Chain A
Amino acid sequence: MKSLVKIIVFSCLALSFASCQDVVQVKLDEGSKLYVVDAFVNSLRTDQTIKITTNSNYFSSTAPTGVSGANVVLTDLTDNKQYSFIYTSNGNYVYTLLPTDTLAKVNHLYALNVTIDGNVYTSSTTQKRYCSIDSINVTLNDNSVGFGQQSKDTSYLCILFAKDKADATADYYWIKTFRNDTLFSDASDLNLNIDGTGGEITNAPEDSLDFTAPSTLLGFKKYRRHDKCRVEVHSIMRNTYNFFTQAQTQINNGGLFATTPENVKTNIVTPNGTTKAVGWFSVASVATKSVVVK
């Protein structure tokens, strides 16, 4: 229910008549070096990428420095199959699927081994079941949805109809939305959902509530005619969901009701006495669908 607080923050910003925000210069200490493992593997039949970088000074304006020369191996522990990722550039390690490969299988256990300078960093995860997307419904934005948000010109809303198994097991989703193949990637676009069954999910990346019961999400990302809207619903583990909610809080933690900043958790295990690695490893089942606004 943390998003509730966000809404209140938002409301308060609107409320406080004289409040203001401005960019300031802050002097920060040099932090110690960390390896950052960005390992989000999924069931899509596209190249799978695991990225290994180092942390950078908070105000650094360049892309993070990639770590080359690492050995990155994904193991399907259930099938006892190994997939070696090959270094390309900028810290990216890529695995190109062969037609015979099924890299991601439901309920399979996966291990990740990253070897840097002879030290092995490990992690493990499980792949969750899929959700099925029924359709994406395009409606004219009549301003009936959202916080009374209004616009002057004609725009459309895309509403996702998806269904997952309605049983006692909770399903956790990370919903990625693309307009003309560009991911909505701002901090506010991170769209997470639990058990979004039975109803419509407006594909707007503005999350409002993460009910632990069947729910509907509201939002207001707008599309114009001929725009292509594509949605990926990633079925993720609960701890991955928690990782994202924690990251979401830290990414934009301002206002009157900001929470105490904290370091995001990691599921990467660092061997004793070596440079610490942080980051996250996830293997997701992905359902995808796209529609062109006509």
Chain B
Amino acid sequence: MKKISFLLLVLFAKTVLSQDKATVSGYLKDGKNGESLIGVTVYKKNSQIGSSTNAYGFYSLTLPKGNDTLVFSFIGYKTIMYPITLNSNHTVNIELKEEETDLDEVLITSEKEDVNVKSMDMGTTKLDIKQINKIPALLGEVDIVRAIQLLPGVTTVGEGASGFNVRGGNVDQNLILLDEAPVYNSSHLFGFFSVFNPDAVKDVKLIKGGIPSQYGGRVSSILDIRMKEGNSKQLSVNGGLGTIFSRLSIEAPIIKDKMSFIVAGRRSYIDALVKPFVKSSNPIKGSQFYFYDLTAKINYRIDDKNTVFASGYFGKDVFGATVFSFNWGNATGTLRWNHVFNSKLFMNVSTFYSNYNYQLQFKTNNSDQAFKWTSNIVNYSIKPDFTYYLNSKNTVRFGLQSMLYDFMPYKAIISFNDGTKTNLVSEKRYGLENAVYVGNEQKILPRLTAEYGVRLSMYSLIGNGSAYYFRDTTANTPLPFDHEKKYSQGQIIKTYVTPEPRFSLNYVLNSKSSIKASYNRMAQYLQLISNTAASTPLDVYTLATNNLKPLIADQGSVGYFRNFKDNMFETSVEVYYKYMQNQMDYVDNADLFINSKVESQLIQGLGRAYGAEFYIKKNKGKIKGWISYTLSKTERLVRGISNDNWFYSRYDRTHCLNTSVNYDITKRWNISANFVFLSGTPASFPNTKIQIQNYNIPYNTDNIRNNYRITPYHRLDIGATYAFKKNERRRYKQFLVISVYNVYNRRNAFSIYFRTKDGQPNQTEAVRYSVIGSFVPALTYNFNF
């Protein structure tokens, strides 16, 4: 802390000294609904001096005193030229107007569309929610996580698997932030939909490499999702009736231009739809399964210097029959305060709460026998973050984060007929993670910009709790328990400190192209315990302990960015190499559920991933879209597994081709299509069988893991949106979305497994399991006013 206050002092001192310059700062908003705009470019006309708005729409730019013109430009909005006489520090708040999207009109092109070339960002993709809305979706429902899976470097093990894998990282290595609060399970209905309601989302940013120092806690990627603030100009309503669920969102000003809110909700009705098709003998008859979520946000702009936000998410999946039920849900809450100290120093303080919990229950109809299992993860955190716009060459960002983890690994209650109960309750686990960070974005030369910084993360596993100690044994067998030691409340069991250097460079070759390079080290203090193909919603997270070391990843990447035809086409090539230490794996026949000494079942190994990502995107014209291709390899090395050799990880896909296009045929009709081709995921196949007690047990005599690959995955989706004729005097707009997922009806294998035919003890066969084995048409009706 001392260092930071010192740094602050130096920074202030320097401000006072530079008398010949002045600073312009302020907020940029959308003129139509008052939403703050993220990433708007602000620059001095005909110069290289510029900046862009942060996640709250704030910018600050220091310029020489005198008469000047400021240019504010943002894709999809009309560029504003703002003449200014700069004698002292100024506040300039601007509202940008959307470009007319009607095709008949000439597009007014803004000058700065080369952000991808000029900005520091590499390995970063921003997805505009409008863009996501046009991607044909499974069952016609727009989904952020599924849209992300179309980007280079992002894969999944298959349909229905929750989460996503970034550059060879496991699903638990993505920090998914909803208004800065972490979301532990981003899936609804196992993995078919994500928990983010697109009606409430403003901005989606995925960072795969060159991760700035303000982010930490997960090693592979940051998915930063920002919610809308709510229309501060007028009431607006968005809604949709879909095949699988319905949506409704309401946003309105409370005090015009000062205070507004948004409330958005969804509820599925798949249960109602499926019921008629379920045979009476099917065990799921009489079952309920549905999900719902509610997202809300309120913001209050107190004055030019202070804005406060409160946002929250609550969602739940319920799945159950009379004797069996299963549900899970996330709840997050964020409170934020933006404060502008002066035109150069911006602060945001966020505090958040996040709770992920799940429950599994069995009970019999006519007796008191029952089994109930619950588990949860609760997070509390505070995060003050400062941006100091030192001068036109340096922007310093610093801050700290403190986070408390409160885990309940499991709590099981078993009830018997005679009224007795047995409780199997795990000890709670507490972890404290603190981090300080500082980073500077510096224009070293007119063409060379660097962003460098460091994050120092400190993690402690703290009491109440026990530390378990195990003896060493042969590789790939559970560790024998030796002894345990009790720790009282707040006592430190084990501490890990990791300095995480971050570094990226951008060298602009010319107005159309640049070369970027980055290196970052990331540390992660909790990992998901899951030895299944797709992670289940029941999977338990575990904190780093005296036995489990934190996961550390080092990643380096280099990229070439170039725009063509007056920025109509954006292209990039990036290569990366990632090395991971202490990645989680499992001993054979691991017992991971309701096991207080689960650490004995875990082994930590190495991981490496490397690849090349090619991306071409067309931003303008009637046809828009992108093609991405990734060539990559992801491997692991774990003692005692696969004869101590590197083996392919479960989510390795050599070739990934993703294309997404949409075409505005007329004012009313828009059609879109996706095509995806992915190499099959690796799988462990037996080569022989051994027969014991008449059971045919698959056996691989080479003992190599992931020695085969299942068949490639490919799929075409198409969609069409029809905009109904609008009544000129009314704001009411209606759309009909028709979509077909998996058009040519391919049975993509999720896995291939081996089994003995029932009743025929010598007949064995391989079975392809497809999650979606047919084409899925859907119709959705959307409206807004």
Q: In this assembly, does A100 line the interface, its C-beta being within 8 Å of a C-beta of chain B?
A: no
Which B52-80 residues have a C-beta within 8 angstroms of A? none
Q: Interface code B149-172, partner A: CB below 8 Å = 1, 0 otherwise? A: 000000000001100000000000
Q: In this assembly, does B285 line the interface, its C-beta being within 8 Å of a C-beta of chain A?
A: yes
Please determine whether B758 and A186 come into contact, CB atoms closer than 8 angstroms: yes
Q: Which residue of A lies closest to B700 (CB)?
A: A263
Report the separation of the CA atoms of residues A29 and B703 in the bound assembly, to the nearest whole angstrom: 12
Please determine whether A28 and B685 come into contact, CB atoms closer than 8 angstroms: yes
Q: Which applies to chain A's interface (DSSP): helix, strand, loop or mixed?
A: loop
List residues of chain A with CB within 8 A of the CB of B771.
Answer: 16, 18-19, 256
Q: In this assembly, does B366 line the interface, its C-beta being within 8 Å of a C-beta of chain A?
A: yes
Please determine whether A216 and B417 come into contact, CB atoms closer than 8 angstroms: yes
Q: In this assembly, does A127 line the interface, its C-beta being within 8 Å of a C-beta of chain B?
A: no
Residues of B in contact (CB 8 Å), total 98
Q: Which residue of B lies closest to A39 (CB)?
A: B692
Q: In this assembly, does B129 line the interface, its C-beta being within 8 Å of a C-beta of chain A?
A: no
List residues of chain A with CB within 8 A of the CB of B747.
Answer: 20, 22
Please determine whether A185 and B761 come into contact, CB atoms closer than 8 angstroms: yes
Please determine whether B768 and A21 come into contact, CB atoms closer than 8 angstroms: yes
Please determine whether A38 and B691 come into contact, CB atoms closer than 8 angstroms: yes
Which A189-242 residues have a C-beta within 8 angstroms of B? 190, 198-199, 208-209, 211-216, 218, 242
A-B interface pairs (CB < 8 A), number: 271
- Please choose the segment from A77-85, A148-156, A157-165, A285-293 that sits at the chain B interface, where 4 or more of its residues have CB less than 8 A away: A148-156
Please determine whether A211 and B766 come into contact, CB atoms closer than 8 angstroms: no
Q: Interface code A81-110, partner B: CB below 8 Å = 1, 0 otherwise? A: 000000000000000000000000000000
Q: Which residue of A lies closest to B705 (CB)?
A: A260
Set A16, A214, A215: member contacting B160, Cβ < 8 A: A16
Q: In this assembly, does A252 line the interface, its C-beta being within 8 Å of a C-beta of chain B?
A: yes
Please determine whether A145 and B364 come into contact, CB atoms closer than 8 angstroms: yes
Report the separation of the CA atoms of residues A23 and B123 in the bound assembly, to the nearest whole angstrom: 41
Report the separation of the CA atoms of residues A265 and B701 in the bound assembly, to the nearest whole angstrom: 12
Please determine whether A55 and B776 come into contact, CB atoms closer than 8 angstroms: no
Q: How far is the CB of B167 from chain A (nearest CB, A)?
A: 21
Please determine whether A259 and B531 come into contact, CB atoms closer than 8 angstroms: yes
Please determine whether A213 and B422 come into contact, CB atoms closer than 8 angstroms: yes
List residues of chain A with CB within 8 A of the CB of B278.
Answer: 14
Please determine whether A144 and B366 come into contact, CB atoms closer than 8 angstroms: yes
Report the separation of the CA atoms of residues A98 and B360 in the bound assembly, to the nearest whole angstrom: 52
- Please choose the segment from B319-327, B486-494, B515-523, B560-568 that sits at the chain A interface, where 4 or more of its residues have CB less than 8 A away: B319-327
Please determine whether B321 and A21 come into contact, CB atoms closer than 8 angstroms: no
Q: In this assembly, does B594 line the interface, its C-beta being within 8 Å of a C-beta of chain A?
A: yes
Q: In this assembly, does A251 line the interface, its C-beta being within 8 Å of a C-beta of chain B?
A: yes
Please determine whether B769 and A21 come into contact, CB atoms closer than 8 angstroms: yes
Q: Interface code B699-712, partner A: CB below 8 Å = 1, 0 otherwise? A: 11111010010000
Please determine whether B531 and A24 come into contact, CB atoms closer than 8 angstroms: no
Q: How far is the CB of A172 from chain B (nearest CB, A)?
A: 14
List residues of chain A with CB within 8 A of the CB of B693.
Answer: 38, 40
Q: In this assembly, does A180 line the interface, its C-beta being within 8 Å of a C-beta of chain B?
A: no
Please determine whether A148 and B321 come into contact, CB atoms closer than 8 angstroms: yes
Q: Which residue of A lies closest to B244 (CB)?
A: A17
Please determine whether A278 and B690 come into contact, CB atoms closer than 8 angstroms: yes
List residues of chain A with CB within 8 A of the CB of B650.
Answer: 260
Report the separation of the CA atoms of residues A188 and B589 in the bound assembly, to the nearest whole angstrom: 18
Q: Interface code B210-247, partner A: CB below 8 Å = 1, 0 otherwise? A: 00000000000000000000000000000000000000
Q: In this assembly, does A137 line the interface, its C-beta being within 8 Å of a C-beta of chain B?
A: no
Q: How far is the CB of A256 from chain B (nearest CB, A)?
A: 5
Set A14, A249, A257: member contacting B589, Cβ < 8 A: A249
Set A26, A213, A256: member contacting B533, Cβ < 8 A: A256
Q: In this assembly, does A25 line the interface, its C-beta being within 8 Å of a C-beta of chain B?
A: yes
Please determine whether B422 and A58 come into contact, CB atoms closer than 8 angstroms: no
Q: Interface code B520-539, partner A: CB below 8 Å = 1, 0 otherwise? A: 00000000000111101010
Q: Which residue of A lies closest to B531 (CB)?
A: A259
**Most chain B CB inside 10 Å of its own CB: which residue of A2, A213, A251:** A251
Which B393-443 residues have a C-beta within 8 angstroms of A? 414, 416-417, 422, 424
Report the separation of the CA atoms of residues A151 and B683 in the bound assembly, to the nearest whole angstrom: 39
Please determine whether B690 and A58 come into contact, CB atoms closer than 8 angstroms: no
List residues of chain B with CB within 8 A of the CB of A58.
Answer: 686-689, 698, 754, 764, 766
List residues of chain A with CB within 8 A of the CB of B270.
Answer: 17
Please determine whether A261 and B695 come into contact, CB atoms closer than 8 angstroms: no
Q: How far is the CB of A48 from chain B (nearest CB, A)?
A: 14
Q: Which residue of B lies closest to A55 (CB)?
A: B688
Please determine whether B323 and A148 come into contact, CB atoms closer than 8 angstroms: yes
Q: How far is the CB of B331 from chain A (nearest CB, A)?
A: 23
Set B286, B422, B688, B690: member contacting A279, Cβ < 8 A: B690
Q: How far is the CB of A26 from chain B (nearest CB, A)?
A: 4
- Contacts A24-B752, A209-B362; is A7 near B767 (CB within 8 Å)? no
Report the separation of the CA atoms of residues A38 and B366 in the bound assembly, to the nearest whole angstrom: 42
Q: Which residue of B lies closest to A282 (CB)?
A: B693
- Please choose the segment from A60-68, A116-124, A128-136 that sits at the chain B interface, where 4 or more of its residues have CB less than 8 A away: A60-68
Please determine whether B285 and A185 come into contact, CB atoms closer than 8 angstroms: no
Q: In this assembly, does A167 line the interface, its C-beta being within 8 Å of a C-beta of chain B?
A: no
Report the separation of the CA atoms of residues A204 and B592 in the bound assembly, to the nearest whole angstrom: 26
List residues of chain B with CB within 8 A of the CB of A1.
Answer: 591-595
Report the separation of the CA atoms of residues A213 and B764 in the bound assembly, to the nearest whole angstrom: 36
Q: Interface code A254-285, partner B: CB below 8 Å = 1, 0 otherwise? A: 11111111111100000000000011100000
Set A4, A144, A246, A247: member contacting B360, Cβ < 8 A: A4
Which B282-317 residues have a C-beta within 8 angstroms of A? 282-286, 289
Q: Which residue of B lies closest to A246 (CB)?
A: B589
Please determine whether B538 and A36 come into contact, CB atoms closer than 8 angstroms: no
Report the separation of the CA atoms of residues A34 and B322 in the bound assembly, to the nearest whole angstrom: 47
Please determine whether A32 and B701 come into contact, CB atoms closer than 8 angstroms: yes
- Contacts A257-B534, A258-B753; is A56 near B160 (CB within 8 Å)? no
Q: How far is the CB of B159 from chain A (nearest CB, A)?
A: 9
List residues of chain B with CB within 8 A of the CB of A21.
Answer: 767-770
Report the separation of the CA atoms of residues A58 and B751 in the bound assembly, to the nearest whole angstrom: 17
Please determine whether B362 and A208 come into contact, CB atoms closer than 8 angstroms: yes
Q: In this assembly, does B774 line the interface, its C-beta being within 8 Å of a C-beta of chain A?
A: yes
- Contacts A58-B698, A242-B589, A261-B686; is A8 near B283 (CB within 8 Å)? no
Report the separation of the CA atoms of residues A185 and B536 in the bound assembly, to the nearest whole angstrom: 29
List residues of chain B with CB within 8 A of the CB of A63.
Answer: 691, 762
Q: In this assembly, does B281 line the interface, its C-beta being within 8 Å of a C-beta of chain A?
A: yes
List residues of chain A with CB within 8 A of the CB of B651.
Answer: none
Report the separation of the CA atoms of residues A36 and B761 in the bound assembly, to the nearest whole angstrom: 16
List residues of chain B with CB within 8 A of the CB of A19.
Answer: 160, 769-773
Please determine whether A252 and B416 come into contact, CB atoms closer than 8 angstroms: no
Q: In this assembly, does B5 line the interface, its C-beta being within 8 Å of a C-beta of chain A?
A: no
List residues of chain A with CB within 8 A of the CB of B286.
Answer: 148
Please determine whether B692 and A254 come into contact, CB atoms closer than 8 angstroms: no
Report the separation of the CA atoms of residues A280 and B699 in the bound assembly, to the nearest whole angstrom: 14
Q: Which residue of B lies closest to A280 (CB)?
A: B692
Q: In this assembly, does B684 line the interface, its C-beta being within 8 Å of a C-beta of chain A?
A: yes
Q: In this assembly, does B365 line the interface, its C-beta being within 8 Å of a C-beta of chain A?
A: yes
Report the separation of the CA atoms of residues A131 and B174 in the bound assembly, to the nearest whole angstrom: 50
List residues of chain A with CB within 8 A of the CB of B456.
Answer: none
**Most chain A CB inside 10 Å of its own CB: which residue of B593, B690, B699, B767:** B690
Q: How far is the CB of B700 from chain A (nearest CB, A)?
A: 6
Q: How far is the CB of A16 from chain B (nearest CB, A)?
A: 6
Q: How far is the CB of B683 from chain A (nearest CB, A)?
A: 8
Please determine whether A254 and B755 come into contact, CB atoms closer than 8 angstroms: yes
Q: In this assembly, does B756 line the interface, its C-beta being within 8 Å of a C-beta of chain A?
A: yes
Known contacts A24-B768, A61-B762, A214-B422, then 12 further A-B pairs from the complex at CB < 8 Å, ordered by chain A residue: A17-B274, A31-B687, A185-B695, A209-B371, A216-B417, A246-B588, A247-B692, A251-B697, A256-B533, A261-B753, A265-B589, A279-B690
Query: Mind listing 29 A-B residue pairs with CB under 8 Å?
Result: A4-B538, A7-B324, A11-B326, A16-B772, A19-B771, A20-B747, A21-B769, A22-B767, A22-B768, A24-B749, A28-B686, A28-B687, A30-B687, A38-B693, A53-B691, A55-B699, A185-B695, A187-B695, A216-B416, A242-B589, A246-B589, A251-B696, A254-B753, A256-B161, A256-B190, A256-B769, A263-B700, A264-B697, A265-B589
- Which 8 A-B residue pairs are closest in the complex by CB-CB distance? A1-B593, A20-B773, A147-B283, A31-B687, A31-B701, A31-B688, A254-B753, A55-B688
